[in-house]
Amino acid sequence: MTEIDFEAMLENYRGVHPLGAEGDQSILTTLNTQVVDTTDANVKQQRLTVEEIDDFLLYAGWNLWDLLARRSTEGESGLIPRQEYETVSFVQQWLKFPHLYDLITEAVGGADGVVDLGRTAQREPANKLNNTRAWVNICSLMGRGLLISLDMLKPYEQLHELNSSIQFQRRIQHGAYGSGRGFVSGRDYKAPVLNESWVQKFFEERTKIEDAEHLSFSQKFNAATELFGFLLMFDTRSATNTSGPYALPDGSTMLVRDHFLNEPLYPWMDAAAGLPYCVTQVMIFDNEAPRFKISDIGTTFTEPAIDYFPHMTHFSVYARDAWDSPISELRQIDLDEQREILKKSRLGLIKLYGRIAAMSRRDRIMAGVLVYTREMMAPFARAAGLWDSFVKDGFDEFHPLTSQAYYPLTTGAAQDLLPPAFILGEAFTPVGRSATW
């Protein structure tokens, strides 16, 4: 078998398609349909063709490669076996989520109701129904690919499930972004999803950075709350999301960043005692700041790649006290409360680190699975009023095939499967011509 040069494959997807807008256009030339673009009409289709499904999978493979090739955070964790729990989670999601997507679609009144769920990203900051959640179904599609790699599934099987999951995602994308490419990678990496009324409110209430000490504190606040949320979610970025960039009337640029700090879905939230559910940071930068871009998972990068904080002129912080607090109760907090949140985040990080370090490897994997499955379903199910019933009906219980896949995925197979899955797109195996409805 020919050895694959993965380093070379980081330069171009499958050796052909580059990063960025050029790569988006390059991969589009290989598609036979318009499935990666959404319209009012095509998100209402009940059934995609096999050709459309395969095109969506092909683009998803490039999109994931593009996302990960820009990041240097996908290595091993010394504390948490992330690759192991990720692969188990992806499999569990594939085996459970499509059916739950169908139930949510029915509960909200069909395709239009799902599109409206996606519009939550426009209506509300400090809500996990954000631009990142317009992407997360990609993880369940990876679970399908992993099962195929493990010879537990054939590419042409579960066509209904493929249709349900892809159409659910496309409807959420349409709600978040409107017509056009359903991926930020096809929108020049811009996700200015919040309604203009929020942008105007945040601009009018902006807090000027007075001096170097204030700027330093703002950076520390951003870092401490992000790091705490990162560990709270077991080394995932589920606790952070950035939207923007938003062009402001005075020529400056705004980013809106949410850090979720106190999520009652998990038993280790005692480490977050006294913290609000979410803090929303409104950051405004001068007209000499680098060009901001946002990834499909709500992370920020710049062109050129430089430290952008020296260009920050205003830093305002808002708090949402509970996940179900009315958005009208989102409140701007002063420096004293920001200092308290910074202090509690740092103390919580120490407490949480000690707690995780004392867990067995199996418990860390299972905790990671709990996060990766709940984070990618609960925001939708909560909004549809179904989350409690999903949990009661066994949401967290392993599907039999997940149990079967657990051992190989946690004893070495994950490290063998993830590089080709992520870098070569092998997690997005096409259905193929033999499939029919």
Residue 172 resides in a domain? yes
- Residues 374 and 351 occupy one common structural domain: no
- Residues 337 and 366 occupy one common structural domain: no
Give mean pLDDT in consecutive 10-residue pieces for the chain, a chain of 437 residues: 59 90 97 98 96 97 89 60 93 98 98 98 98 97 94 95 98 98 98 98 97 98 97 93 97 98 96 97 97 97 94 98 98 98 98 96 97 98 98 98 95 74 81 70
- Residues 67 and 26 occupy one common structural domain: yes
- Residues 345 and 370 occupy one common structural domain: no
Q: Which domain holds residue 270?
A: 196-357
- Residues 161 and 248 occupy one common structural domain: no
Residue 37 resides in a domain? yes
Residues in CB range of 251: below 8 A, 6 or more apart: 287
- Residues 41 and 167 occupy one common structural domain: yes
What's at 270, amino acid-wise?
A: D
- Residues 234 and 341 occupy one common structural domain: yes
CA 184 to CA 136: how far, in whole Å?
A: 13
Residue 191 resides in a domain? no
- Residues 310 and 416 occupy one common structural domain: no
Token pair, residue 276, equals: 């609000």
Residue 84 resides in a domain? yes
- Residues 165 and 247 occupy one common structural domain: no
What is the number of domains present in the chain? 2
Interhelix angle 50-69/159-177, rounded to 10 degrees, is 60
- Residues 30 and 151 occupy one common structural domain: yes
**Assign residue 274 a region: left if phi > 0, alpha if psi is -120 to 50, beta otherwise?**
left
Residue 226 resides in a domain? yes
- Residues 265 and 311 occupy one common structural domain: yes
CA 417 to CA 72: how far, in whole Å?
A: 19
Beta strands in 286-418 (DSSP E): 291-294, 300-303, 312-320, 331-332
* DSSP-derived secondary structure for 131-182: TGGGTTHHHHHHHHHHHHHTTSS-TTS-HHHHHHHHHHHHHHHHHHH-SEES
Interhelix angle 159-177/82-107, rounded to 10 degrees, is 80
pLDDT for the residue numbered 349? 97
- Residues 217 and 347 occupy one common structural domain: yes
pLDDT for the residue numbered 432? 85
pLDDT for the residue numbered 2? 47
Residue 384 resides in a domain? yes
pLDDT for the residue numbered 21? 95
Per the listing, tokens 């979410």 go with: 278
Residue 87 resides in a domain? yes
Residue 435 resides in a domain? no
What's at 117, amino acid-wise?
A: L
CA 38 to CA 89: how far, in whole Å?
A: 28
Last residue of a domain, one of 307, 329, 357: 357
Last residue of a domain, one of 357, 374, 399: 357
Last residue of a domain, one of 337, 357, 377: 357
